[in-house]
Structure 1
Amino acid sequence: MSITPGFTAVEIRRFVHEYDGLAYGHKSPWLAERKLSRHRLARWRDAVYEGDLERGLIPREGSYMTIPPGKRSALEKARAAEQARHEAEVAELTARVRELEGSNYALGKAIGLLHSLNEAEPADTPTTTDPSNS
């Protein structure tokens, strides 16, 4: 879910980082060029740095700029790095699960083959003595 219809979370995050990287005096023309309001960008910044952009959650806080922009960017980069680590770990574990499922499948086939070979052989009949010869 996006906090603004027509924009994805990836686009919003890119806009916020691009805006934060602009020098003083270049931000208003940048906003006008993209037809964005300061209020919308402020909501996006709050969602990116302090909220949950993917779920469209913006924190309820009365004061803006509680964290300096440099620290905000550092926090966002740390969150992105942590997210990338988690995604890599999930991919690795998924690959391991598929590998183990393949091993289980092969073992199941081998066990089934052994059972079928065992059933195909005639069972040894025990030798019995004829009771009349006793």
Structure 2
Amino acid sequence: MSISPGFTTEQIREFVHRYELTPYGQKAFWLEGQGVSYDRLRRWRSAVFDGDLDRGLIPRDGGVVTVPPEKRTSIERQRARERSAQEEEVARLNARVHELEQTNDALGKAIGLLHQMSEQEPGTNPTTVAPLDSSTPRPTSSDD
């Protein structure tokens, strides 16, 4: 059984974190615009901040969020650091992929040129005539 059918754990986590980042005084308006009830959000927050979301546990109704606001802020900062590190890693890997694609293109062109050069060469090696051997005596025309 899922904490909320139709939502993945990542979607729930992202929703809770967006709610937490919404400025004070605008949270109810933002939540209303998302079409999610406060009771559902409360269950999601509890699951996210208590670590139950990743384990697939459904929080009991009637409980309060046990994580104090300072801890939530700490969790948000940690998450922001992790997200930043992940974005940097993705950027680094994308740059590497681009570099490898360019290398692959260059190698493909080089191989194509080698094929063109081999097609232009003669099919068989020409045979060369060996020079006359100077050690063989030549007939002379003076037979007197």
**RMSD of equivalent CA atoms:** 3.7
Counterpart-to-counterpart distance in 2, 1:16 and 1:40: 7
**Kept in 2: contact 1:3–1:57 (CA 8 A):** no
Counterpart-to-counterpart distance in 2, 1:104 and 1:9: 44
Q: Which runs of 5+ in 2 are unaligned?
A: 58-65, 139-144
The structure, 1 or 2, with the larger RCO (C-alpha pairs under 8 Å, 6+ apart) is 1
**Kept in 1: contact 2:16–2:45 (CA 8 A):** yes
Q: Which runs of 5+ in 1 are unaligned?
A: none
The residue matched to 1:34 in structure 2 has which SS? coil
Counterpart-to-counterpart distance in 1, 2:9 and 2:56: 16
Q: Which residue of structure 2 aligns with residue 65 of structure 1?
A: 67
The answer as to 2:107 corresponding to 1:107 is no
Task: Give percent identity, aligned residues only.
Answer: 16
CA drift of 1:7 comes to 2.2
Residue by residue, what CA displacement relative to the aligned partner does 1:77-128 show, whole Å, maximum 9, x if unpaired?
Answer: 10111111111112111111110110110010111122122235x6342113
Question: In 2 relative to 1, CA 124–115 (structure 1 residues): closer, same or farther, beyond 3 Å?
Answer: same
**Kept in 2: contact 1:16–1:41 (CA 8 A):** yes
The residue matched to 1:41 in structure 2 has which SS? helix
Show the 5 A alignment for 1:68-87: 68-87=71-90
Which has the greater radius of gyration?
A: 2
What is the total number of aligned residue pairs between the two structures? 117
Q: Which residue of structure 2 aligns with residue 125 of structure 1?
A: 127
The residue matched to 2:122 in structure 1 has which SS? helix
User: What amino acid does structure 2 have at the position aligned with 1:116?
Assistant: E
